Amino acid sequence: MSDNQELSELLLEIEDMIIENEISSAIRMLENRLHDFEDYYQIFNSLGELYMMNEDAHTSLNYLNRALELAPENLDTLELMGDTYFALMNYDQATISWNKAVELDKRRFRIWYKLGELYYQIGEYVKAQKVLINYLEYEKDSAVYSLLATIYQKMGNDIECWNNLMKAEELEPTNEKILVQIGEVYFELDNFDRAIEYFKKATEINPSSIPAWFQLAKSYEEKQDFQQSIDSYAKVVEINPDNVLGYYNLARIYAADAKINEAIRNYEECLDKDPSFEEASMALASFCWASKEYEKAISYLQEALRYNSESSRIFRLIGDVYEDLGELEKAKNSWEIASKLEEG
C-alpha cells in the first residue's frame, strides 16, 4: 500500500471492486485518477494487475514498465512483470523478472513454483526440478509435489515420481487431481485394478470430474469390462452433453461389444457435435459398407471430405467401396488421390 493516504484509500476501494468482479470499472476509476498519483508506482502496479485480469497483457506490461521506472527493485512489480511476460509466452523475460525478485528476497519462494511451471512447459526438466525443490525448502505443498512427480516421470525416474506423489497424497488425500494423477501412473504400469481404485476415489470426491470418469472408463476397457466402461463414458456425456470424445468412445465400446445400433447412434452424436471428426465418419461408413449400403457409406465419406479434404484414409476407403460396387474407374481415381496424398 502507498504512503499517500488518499492513494491508499483509492487502492482499498479498488480491492473491493475486484472482489465484486468490477474489473473494467476499477480500471476506469484508476485511469481517471492517474494524473493525481503519477509519481507512485503502486497505481501503475494496480493497473498492470487489473489489465492482466482483463486478459490484456500488452497494456499490463506498459503500466508495469512505468512502475519499474519509479521503483526499479520493487518486488511486486517484478513478480507481476514475470506473470505478464509468461502470459505473453516471452519466457526469457519472465525468467529474468522472477529470478530477480527471488534474488532480492528469498521469502518470495512461491515464485519458484511459477518458474517450475515455466521450465516444465519448455522442457527444461532439470531446472524445473531444482527450483521446485527450492520451494519445498520453505513450504510443503501438494501442487509442488504433484508437478515434481510429473517431471520425474518425464525424466524416467519412477522412484522419485512415486515418492512425490505419495507426499502429495499425504498432504491432500482428498485432492481429486492428485488422485487422478496417481491413477494415471498405475494405468501406465498396466495395474488397472489400482488405477480404478484411485479413479473411483476421485469420482466420489467430485462426481462431476470428467478426467476421473474418462480415465475410469479407459481402465475398465483395458480389463474388457465393457459394461462398466460404457457406464463411465455415459457419465462423461451426462456431465457434459457436448463432449465429443465421450460419444466417440461410447461408440467404440458398443462396437467392441457387438452392440452395433448403439455404436451407430453414438457415432452420429459425435458427428452432430463435431462434423469434422474423421474417425466417426470412417466408422459409420465402414458399418454401411459391411452391410452393403454402399451409397450411404460413400455419402458419409464425401461429407467427411468437406472437413478433411487431404485425408488419404478417406479417399482410400472410398476407393474400396467403389471397388465393391464394381465401379473400378472411380475406385482407381480415389486410390490414386490417396497415393498422392500419402507421397506428399
Which amino acid is it at 332?
A: K
pLDDT (average), residues 276-301: 95
Q: What is the DSSP letter of 274?
A: -
Give the three cell numbers for residue 28.
476506469
More reliable by pLDDT, 188 or 1 = 188
Query: How far is the C-alpha of 180 from the C-alpha of 205, rounded, in Å?
Result: 11
Answer whether 163's CB lies under 8 Å from 179's CB: no
Answer whether 199's CB lies under 8 Å from 226's CB: no
Predicted pLDDT of residue 138: 94
Give the three cell numbers for residue 16.
473491493
pLDDT (average), residues 165-178: 96
Q: How many CA atoms lie within 13 A of 280 on its CB side?
A: 25
Query: How far is the C-alpha of 337 from the C-alpha of 320, rounded, in Å?
Result: 13
How confident is the model over 192-218, as pLDDT tens digits? 999 999 999 999 999 999 999 999 999
Question: Could you tell me the pLDDT band of residue 82, with boundaries at 50, 70 and 90?
Answer: very high
Answer whether 91's CB lies under 8 Å from 104's CB: no
Predicted pLDDT of residue 99: 95
Question: Could you tell me the pLDDT band of residue 261, with boundaries at 50, 70 and 90?
Answer: very high
Which amino acid is it at 317?
A: L
How confident is the model over 245-256, as pLDDT tens digits? 999 999 999 998
54 burial type by CB count under 10 A (0-12 exposed, 13-18 middle, 19+ buried):
middle
Average pLDDT, the chain: 95
Give the three cell numbers for residue 141.
505443498
Write down all domains in the chain, each with its CATH number in brackets. 1-105 (1.25.40.10), 109-173 (1.25.40.10), 190-274 (1.25.40.10), 280-344 (1.25.40.10)
Predicted pLDDT of residue 183: 97
Which amino acid is it at 123?
A: G
Which residues have CB under 8 Å from 310's CB, separation 6+?
341
Question: Could you tell me the pLDDT band of residue 61, with boundaries at 50, 70 and 90?
Answer: very high
Question: Could you tell me the pLDDT band of residue 329, with boundaries at 50, 70 and 90?
Answer: very high
Q: Is the pLDDT of residue 2 over 70?
A: no
How confident is the model over 98-155, as pLDDT tens digits? 999 999 998 899 999 999 999 999 999 999 999 999 999 999 999 999 999 999 999 9
Which residues have CB under 8 Å from 303's CB, separation 6+?
275, 281
Give residue 240's region: left, alpha or beta (phi > 0; psi -120 to 50).
Answer: beta
Q: Is the pLDDT of residue 1 over 80?
A: no
Whats the size of the chain, residue-wise?
344
Q: What is the DSSP letter of 37?
A: S
Predicted pLDDT of residue 4: 84
Record the pTM. Answer: 0.82
DSSP-H helix ranges across the chain = 5-19, 23-32, 41-53, 57-70, 75-87, 91-104, 110-121, 125-136, 142-154, 158-171, 176-188, 192-205, 210-222, 226-239, 244-256, 260-273, 278-290, 294-305, 312-325, 328-343
Question: Could you tell me the pLDDT band of residue 76, with boundaries at 50, 70 and 90?
Answer: very high
pLDDT (average), residues 285-298: 95
Q: Is the pLDDT of residue 270 over 90?
A: yes
Give the distance from CA 118 to its chain's centroid: 15
Buried b (16+ CB within 10 A) or exposed e, 334-344: bbebbeebeee
